[in-house]
Amino acid sequence: MMKHRRLLAFAAGLTLLVGLLTGVVSALTYQSLYWVSLNYLAPAASGPAAGLGARYVELVGLFGVLALYVALPFAVAYTSSSGDDRRPAFHYAWAVAAVSLLPVLVASAAFSRIGNPYMPLGRRLVGVVVPVGFLVGLFAAHRLTLSRSPDGVDGSPPLAVFANVAFLVLFLGGLLLGGVAGAGPAGALVETERLGPPQTDFEFSEAETDDGTVLVVTHGGGEAIPAERLRITGEGFANVSGVDRSGPGGWPASAATDRPDGPTVTRDDSVTVGVADDCDIRVIYVRGDVLDTLDRHDCGGE
C-alpha cells in the first residue's frame, strides 16, 4: 500500500511539473489559446529553441496529456483486476466510464449552455439530464454486475480508475501557473514579434520653405512603436535642408521617445521629410520579411 501511495504521489508531482513546463513553453511560443501569452516568439531572433518549444507543446503538452487521460484508467483497471474475484470486464467497464466522463460533461454543457438564460429551457435541461443519466446508468450497471458476482466480493466501485480526472486537473493547474510565469518573468528571456501590424494613426502636414516642401509625419495616436520597426518609403523625395529624411529610410531615433527598451515612436512624435510636388510617401511597419503599410500621403492630394 505504501509503495502504491508513493507511486501515486510521484505520478501526481510529475503531472503537475509537466503542466508547469507546458504552460511556460506554451506562453513563450504562442502555441496555445492561453490568454496572457506573449504576442509571438520571433524564431529568427531566438534560434532553434523556438521550433523545439513549439513542437514540445504540440506533442507533449497536448497529445501526451490526452494519451495519459485515456491510458491511465486502463492501466489502473489492469492492475486492480489482478487477484480480484470480480471479472476483468468489471474493471475495464469502469475504465471506459472514466474516459467518457469529461467528454460527456463538456459536450452536454456546450450543447445546453446552462448558464445562458436566453437558451430554451428544454435545451438547458439536456445539460442536466444527460450527465445525471450517465451517472445513474453507470451505477446501475455496477449493481447489475455485483448481482452476478460471487457472494462476499467487494461491492465498492473501483474509483481509482478516475485518477485520470484528478491528474487532468493537476495538469491544467500547472498549465495555468506555467502560463503566468511564461508570459511574465520568463517572457524577458525571449525576443517577441507581433502577429499583425500595430493600430496606430499618423497625421501628415505640408509646409513650404525657401528650400522646398517639408512633409511632417506625426504619430497621431494609438499604439507606441519601436523606432527600429518603422520605415519611411515611397516616391518623390527631395533634398530639403534641415529635414530628418531626404530619402527612404528608418524613423530616426532622435525623433522618437527614449524608453528603457529603446527609442519608441509615441503620440506627437514626428519626423520631417523633404518631398517633391508629386510625392507618394508611406509609413511602413517591418516585422521580419513582412512589410505593412500603416499610412500613406500623396502630396497635393485632398
User: Which grid coordinates belong to 4?
Assistant: 502504491
pLDDT confidence of 227, banded at 50, 70, 90? very high
pLDDT confidence of 33, banded at 50, 70, 90? very low
Query: What pLDDT is recorded for position 246?
Result: 93
Question: Which of 179, 198, 191, 178 shows the shortest CA–CA distance to 36?
Answer: 179
Percentage of the chain beyond pLDDT 90 is 27
- The residues, any chain, with a CB within 8 Å of residue 201's CB and separated by 6 or more, are 219, 220, 221, 222, 295
Q: Do 202 and 171 contact (CB within 8 A), yes or no?
A: no
Instruction: Cell 511632417: give the residue.
Output: 216
Give the tens place of pLDDT for each residue, 107-145. 777 777 766 666 677 777 777 788 788 778 777 777 776
Q: How far is residue 188's CA from residue 264's CA, in Å, rounded to a whole number?
A: 18
Inform me whether the pLDDT recorded for 230 exceeds 90.
yes
Q: How far is residue 235's CA from residue 237's CA, in Å, rounded to a whole number?
A: 6
Q: Where are the domains of the chain?
A: 2-189, 200-298
274: three-class secondary structure by DSSP: strand
pLDDT confidence of 34, banded at 50, 70, 90? very low
Q: Do 222 and 200 contact (CB within 8 A), yes or no?
A: yes
Query: What pLDDT is recorded for position 39?
Result: 47
Give the tens place of pLDDT for each residue, 46-100. 556 666 766 666 676 667 777 777 887 877 777 777 766 566 677 777 788 888 8
Query: What pLDDT is recorded for position 177?
Result: 78
Inform me whether the pLDDT recorded for 157 exceeds 90.
no
190: three-class secondary structure by DSSP: coil
Question: Which of 135, 131, 133, 139 shows the shortest CA–CA distance to 156?
Answer: 139
This prediction has a pTM of 0.45
pLDDT confidence of 36, banded at 50, 70, 90? very low
Q: Do 214 and 275 contact (CB within 8 A), yes or no?
A: yes
User: Which grid coordinates belong to 208?
Assistant: 513650404
Instruction: Cell 469529461: give the residue.
Output: 102
91: three-class secondary structure by DSSP: helix
Question: Which of 227, 229, 231, 232 shows the shortest CA–CA distance to 253?
Answer: 227
Q: How far is residue 100's CA from residue 106's CA, in Å, rounded to a whole number?
A: 10
Q: How far is residue 115's CA from residue 95's CA, in Å, rounded to a whole number?
A: 30
Q: 200-298 in CATH: which number?
A: 2.60.40
User: When comparing pLDDT for 246 and 144, which is higher?
Assistant: 246
Query: What pLDDT is recorded for position 289?
Result: 78
Lowest mean pLDDT among 24-28, 37-41, 213-217: 37-41
For the chain, how long is the longest CA-to-CA vector? 109
Query: What pLDDT is recorded for position 201?
Result: 93
Query: What pLDDT is recorded for position 4?
Result: 56
